[in-house]
Amino acid sequence: MSVSQNAEHLCRGRGRPPLRSDEETLRVIVDAAASMFREGGYAGTAMSAIAARAGVSTKTLYRLVPMKEELFQRVISSRIDRFMLAVDAVDETSGDLAGGLEHLLTAYGNLAFDPEVISVYRLVVGECVRFPEIGRTFFETAIKAAGGAITRWLVQQTRRGLIELDNPERAAEMLRGMMVFEPQRAALLGQAPPPDAAAIAARARACAMLFLRGCQRWEARQALAGLS
Asked if residues 63 and 19 have their Cβ atoms less than 8 Å apart, the reply is no
CA 195 – CA 191 distance, rounded (Å): 12
What is the pTM (predicted TM-score) of this model? 0.80
**pLDDT at 120 exceeding the cut of 90:** yes
Q: At residue 63, what is the residue type? A: R
Whether 89 and 190 share a structural domain: yes
Whether 191 and 125 share a structural domain: yes
Check which CATH number belongs to the domain holding 61 and give it.
1.10.10.60
pLDDT of residue 5: 45
Residue that finishes a domain, picked among 28, 49, 66: 66
Asked if residues 71 and 50 have their Cβ atoms less than 8 Å apart, the reply is yes
CA 215 – CA 218 distance, rounded (Å): 9
Q: How many residues does the chain have?
A: 228
Whether 84 and 35 share a structural domain: no
Burial class (CB in 10 A: 0-12, 13-18, 19+), 191: exposed
CA 110 – CA 8 distance, rounded (Å): 50
Number of domains in the chain: 2
Residue that finishes a domain, picked among 66, 97, 126: 66
> Does a structural domain hold residue 7?
no
Q: What is the mean pLDDT of the chain?
A: 86
More confident residue, 198 or 216: 198
> Does a structural domain hold residue 2?
no
- Domain containing 25: what range? 17-66
> Does a structural domain hold residue 3?
no
